[in-house]
Chain A
Amino acid sequence: IAGVPLRVSSATEDAIAAFTGGADVGVGDISLIAPEIAENGNTVPIEVASETAAEILVLATGNPTPGVAIFKFGPLSASRAASTRIRLAGTQDVVAIAKLEDGSFVQASSTVKVTIGGCGG
């Protein structure tokens, strides 16, 4: 299979199912900020935010293992937002799924073009 990663790999589907318990994932109160082009896949800045989220799952769908992080927001978190830096093996979609306080799930995704991969292959 040439260069283009599958939009959703089975490992990604498994990770999403483990997080949502198979519930439907809609669109709504979630944002994922990631660069359009990352020159260095070793450290790609991302930010996730969702005013009503209890937890946010972040997946890199084109990495050898898709899991990136799960943010759980406690009673003293102000905005339900966090920034971090992640590794991306190549050009791919980054996906964020929030579990909202009402128990529903919403999703956002962003395609990042990676010039140099970040998984040491």
Chain B
Amino acid sequence: MASGVKPRVKVPKTAAVGDTITIKTLISHKMESGQRKDKEGNVIPRSIINRFTCDFNGENVVDVKMEPAISTNPYFEFEAKVPEAGEFKFTWYDDDGSVYETSKSIAISG
């Protein structure tokens, strides 16, 4: 597992049924591109997060295939529909096989 990987997500705590909400996600990760060289001129091997998904109550919101051109500490912002109360689940897939997960629940207001 790459060191110091910490997912952070921002999801409103409540929404009305059918509302559109904005979700922001950031995960700390060096995203080594595989293009850089060390002091001795050896290529530093690629080590990135290659996929990010967001699901709500088991239904997909967004599924992103990521290449080395995604910046260090990958950031995504997107919009989701909220059909009911439930839980957003966020998953990041690392080149080294690690899977990082976090989730946020949302309640229905009014």
| Residues of chain A having any CB pair with chain B under 8 Å | 42-44, 60, 63-65, 67-79, 81-88, 118-121
Contacts and interface: CB of A to CB of B under 8 A. Distances in A.
Contact of B62 (A64, A68, A72): A72
Size band of the interface chain B makes with A: 20 to 34
Closest 9 CB pairs of A and B: A74-B60, A120-B36, A67-B67, A78-B79, A78-B20, A85-B71, A83-B77, A70-B65, A72-B63
Contact of A76 (B68, B69, B70, B80): B80
Q: Is the interface of B mostly helix, strand, loop or mixed?
A: strand
B66 interface: yes
Contacts of A43: 71-72
Contacts of A119: 33, 35-36
A43 to B, nearest CB: 4
Contact of A121 (B35, B77, B79): B35
| Prevailing SS type, chain A contact patch | strand
Nearest to A67: B67
Given A63-B69, A120-B33, A120-B36, A84 B81 contact: no
A75 B60 contact: yes
Contacts of B65: 69-70, 72
Nearest to B88: A76
Contacts of A76: 55-56, 59-61, 80-81, 83
A82 B71 contact: no
Contacts of B61: 73-74, 76-77
12 contacts: A43-B71, A65-B68, A67-B69, A69-B64, A72-B60, A74-B63, A76-B55, A81-B79, A82-B78, A84-B70, A85-B70, A87-B33
B46 to A, nearest CB: 10
Given A42-B72, A76-B81, 8 more contacts: A42-B71, A44-B71, A71-B62, A85-B74, A86-B70, A87-B70, A119-B33, A119-B36
